[in-house]
Amino acid sequence: MYAQLVKSEGAKSREEMTPEEIAFQERIDRGEKIEPKEWMPEGYRKTLIRQIGQHAHSEIVGQLPEGNWITRAPTLERKQILLAKVQDEAGHGLYLYSAAETLGVSRDELLAALHSGKMKYSSIFNYPTLNWADIGAVGWLVDGAAIMNQVPLQRTSFGPYSRAMIRICKEESFHQRQGYDIMMKMCAGTPEQKAMAQDALNRFWYPALMMFGPSDKDSVHSAQSMAWKIKINTNDELRQKFVDQTVPQARYLGLTVPDENLTWNEDKGGHDFSEPDWSEFFEVIAGNGPCNAERLNARVKAWDDGAWFREGLMAHAGKAEARRRAAQVAAE
């Protein structure tokens, strides 16, 4: 997901918990929201910072693969829709950094961790957008997968995160629809357009499945995050839901999902499907995906090249403040 492999801190059994921790867990169990000024276990705070930070980074790095096609969007209307979408993603980054800041970590600190490679962003954004249908596929599959994860997170226990998710989810459904709309146009278009659409699905299918992360059936981290309600479903549950939702949509487009083992399983009421290549996933997470270096370099360059800009604004604010004070003194 936008937050993958987030390590959870301090998984404790009930016997190991302090009375404070027990009271905290009971509040969560009752469905109460935890607000920033309230007491929380250090592990809860740290895990949330990791998860929200990674989610925020994913939103801003996620501008890049789609931004890659803004200047080449094939109609004025598509250009406007894509601009609006990329703008939304930057806005999502902003809400999420703000949510993380309520936990005592600044946006600059989080960005420094991203730039140094200490913090990650979603593996999906390390794949290239090579033809126009990729912009359709990203909206349809990537935003589609994000929605799967983020709709339940609207009920997450941490108030600011939950509220950020509610705002974000409203915009994500527009993102997915515009993506699917591009795919419909491409699939109803010329043979070349249809081929682009199939090519995009072929390349994005498994990376989209990887977004949910490897199976976490036996993960202690996941168990703790689920107890704290900062993770609501298991990775496998969400992946299954995503496949079941997406397969009929692909069929409607007349596209073939690139999986020979894909079949409907009547007993479980869902599809059987092939797992993505998890060794590829771990390579991408480790920095060896097709676009890792480019994505990170683009963000670092934007930050470094913009240093004079940010410093200029700070200096001006300082001068303006000094002038205001001087005027005050003169008036007295």
User: Measured from the CB atom, is 62 or 276 closer to other proteins?
Assistant: 62
Q: How far is CA 236 from each of CA 149, 151, 318, rounded to the nearest angstrom? A: 11, 16, 52
Shortest gap between Cβ of 217 and other proteins (angstroms)?
Answer: 36
User: Measured from the CB atom, is 76 or 331 closer to other proteins?
Assistant: 76
Shortest gap between Cβ of 176 and Fe ion (angstroms)?
Answer: 8
User: Measured from the CB atom, is 309 or 331 closer to other proteins?
Assistant: 309
> Applying CB under 5 A, which residues contact Fe ion?
59, 89, 92, 143, 172, 175
> Applying CB under 8 A, which residues contact other proteins?
60, 63-64, 67, 70-72, 74-80, 83-84, 86-87, 90-91, 93-94, 97, 107, 132, 182, 185, 189-190, 192-193, 298, 301-303, 305-317, 319
Shortest gap between Cβ of 273 and other proteins (angstroms)?
Answer: 31
From other proteins, Fe ion, none, interface partner of 268 (C-beta below 5 to 8 A by class): none
CB-CB contact of 226 with 237 (8 Å): no
- For the chain, count helices (H), then strands (E): 14, 2
Shortest gap between Cβ of 91 and other proteins (angstroms)?
Answer: 6
User: Measured from the CB atom, is 141 or 183 closer to other proteins?
Assistant: 183
Token pair in block for residue 13 = 């059994």
User: Measured from the CB atom, is 58 or 224 closer to Fe ion?
Assistant: 58
User: Measured from the CB atom, is 55 or 271 closer to Fe ion?
Assistant: 55
SS3 assignment, position 264: strand
Shortest gap between Cβ of 75 and other proteins (angstroms)?
Answer: 5
Shortest gap between Cβ of 103 and Fe ion (angstroms)?
Answer: 20
From Fe ion, other proteins, none, interface partner of 239 (C-beta below 5 to 8 A by class): none
Nearest residue to 53 (alpha-carbon basis) of 113, 124, 8, 126: 113
What does the DSSP assignment read for 29-63?
A: HTTPPB-TTS---HHHHHHHHHHHHHHHHHHHHTH
User: Measured from the CB atom, is 283 or 294 closer to other proteins?
Assistant: 294
User: Measured from the CB atom, is 25 or 98 closer to other proteins?
Assistant: 98
From other proteins, Fe ion, none, interface partner of 189 (C-beta below 5 to 8 A by class): other proteins
List, in sequence order, every residue forming a beta bridge with 270; answer none if it has no partner.
Answer: 265
Shortest gap between Cβ of 85 and other proteins (angstroms)?
Answer: 9
d(CA 205, CA 142): 9
From other proteins, Fe ion, none, interface partner of 321 (C-beta below 5 to 8 A by class): none
From Fe ion, other proteins, none, interface partner of 94 (C-beta below 5 to 8 A by class): other proteins
From Fe ion, other proteins, none, interface partner of 92 (C-beta below 5 to 8 A by class): Fe ion
What does the DSSP assignment read for 135-184?
A: HHHIIIIIIHHHHHHHHHHTT-SBHHHHHHHHHHHHHHHHHHHHHHHHHH
d(CA 84, CA 68): 14
Shortest gap between Cβ of 79 and Fe ion (angstroms)?
Answer: 17
The three-point CA angle 120-124-127 to 5° equals 110
The distance of Cα 223 from the centroid of its chain, to the nearest Å, equals: 21
Q: Residues of 228-255 as b/e, b for ≥16 C-beta within 10 angstroms?
A: bbbbbbbbeebbbbbbeebbebbeebeb
From Fe ion, other proteins, none, interface partner of 301 (C-beta below 5 to 8 A by class): other proteins
CB-CB contact of 140 with 237 (8 Å): no
Q: How far is CA 317 from each of CA 29, 314, 323, 325, rounded to the nearest angstrom? A: 46, 5, 10, 12
From Fe ion, other proteins, none, interface partner of 143 (C-beta below 5 to 8 A by class): Fe ion
